[in-house]
């Protein structure tokens, strides 16, 4: 499995503040970004995997909506997470 409990806890600790703080917007965005990167690599090898492509588009939409929420609530946190994760916007 590409995402172990330890890796997931590390993502939330690094971006969410605490390993048990799984509901923070930054932690969720970091998790979605990790999953998107994994699925993008998979789709580069398997071009005709349309189910994975559909789930990738869904994840990108979820991440976008969380980023929009964070931008509306606290612009500084939004800028920090975008810079930290290396997202384009």
Q: What is the rounded CA–CA span in Å between residue 69 and residue 71?
A: 5
The answer to whether residue 27 is domain-embedded is yes
- In this predicted model, what pLDDT tens digit does every residue of 28-63 receive, in sequence order? 999 999 999 999 999 999 999 999 999 999 999 999
Per-residue exposure over 19-58, b if at least 16 CB sit within 10 Å of its own CB, e if not: beeeebbbbbbbbbbbbbeebeeeeeeeeeeeeeeeebee
- Quote the pTM value: 0.91
The answer to whether residue 14 is domain-embedded is no
Q: Which domain holds residue 26?
A: 22-85
Q: What is the rounded CA–CA span in Å between residue 62 and residue 50?
A: 18
Q: Report residue 1's pLDDT band, with 50, 70 and 90 as the boundaries.
A: low
As for how many domains the chain has, the answer is 1
Specify the pLDDT at position 20.
87
The answer to whether residue 44 is domain-embedded is yes
The answer to whether residue 33 is domain-embedded is yes
Q: For the domain that residue 34 is a member of, what is the CATH number?
A: 1.10.287.10
The answer to whether residue 35 is domain-embedded is yes
């Amino acid at each position: 499995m590409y995402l172990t409990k330890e890796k997931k806890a590390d993502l939330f600790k690094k971006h969410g503040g605490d390993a048990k703080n799984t509901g923070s917007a930054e932690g969720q965005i970091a998790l979605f970004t990790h999953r998107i990167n994994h699925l993008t690599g998979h789709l580069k090898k398997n071009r005709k995997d349309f189910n994975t492509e559909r789930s990738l588009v869904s994840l990108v939409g979820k991440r976008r909506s969380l980023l929009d929420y964070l931008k509306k609530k606290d612009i500084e946190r939004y800028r920090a997470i975008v810079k930290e994760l290396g997202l384009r916007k």
